[in-house]
Amino acid sequence: DQTEALTFADEVVVMTRGRAVQVGAADALFERPQHVFVGHFIGSPGMNFLSAQHQDGRLQLAGYSLAISQPNLPSGPLQVGVRPEYLALSAPDAPGALPCTVLRVQDIGTYWMLTAEVGGQMLRARLGSETAAPAVGGTVWLKVLGEHTCFYQNEELLA
């Protein structure tokens, strides 16, 4: 049971296809998954991954160009990973924000689980229930880039 393992173990081993892909404390596996598989596997729902291109300090993501502050990222294709818990509604002019079409809103009681689409890519966001539920079919701006954003190349964590 994933919840039990993450709650009681000092160290967790995540394996796929007979090999360990990450060993560490539960919070490290959740916050900084070293491999895309770990990001998908740990958490419910798992981490969101968006395909992007990096060039000269800018990220081309879902048809939008966003400035990024990670100086050591290689140019070329990347995957941007962000947990549903760390996506937040934002103003259209907020740095790192993208316009998303709301596909589904589920009332989970203490939070809303929002399923949205940006440039043909799906995102799930966990929004506090104190926030008004966005309208299905409407547009919301979600802040994708922030301190909890992870960048991957060839499914391995870069930054």
Q: Please tell me whether residue 125 adopts helix, strand or coil conformation.
A: strand
Checking if the pLDDT of 1 tops 70, the result is: no
Residues in the chain: 159
Sketch the domain layout of the chain as residue ranges.
45-157
Name residue 2's amino acid.
Q
Does the pTM surpass 0.85? The reply is yes
Checking if the pLDDT of 72 tops 90, the result is: no
8 phi and psi, to 5 degrees? -100, -25
Tell me the pLDDT tens digit for each residue of 93-121.
898 899 999 999 999 999 999 999 999 99
Tokens at 20, concatenated? 């360990």
CA distance 47 to 86: 10
- Point out which residues pair with 48 in neighbouring strands: 82
Tokens 């596909």 correspond to: 103
Cis peptide before 45 (omega within 30 of 0): yes
Residue 31: DSSP 8-state = H
pLDDT band at 138 (very low <50, low <70, confident <90, very high): very high
Helices and strands (H and E) in the chain: how many: 3, 13
| CA distance between the termini of the chain | 29
Q: What is the CATH code of the structural domain delimited by 45-157?
A: 2.40.50.140
- Span of 112-116, 120-124, 131-135, 149-153 with lowest mean pLDDT: 131-135
Tokens at 134, concatenated? 């966005």
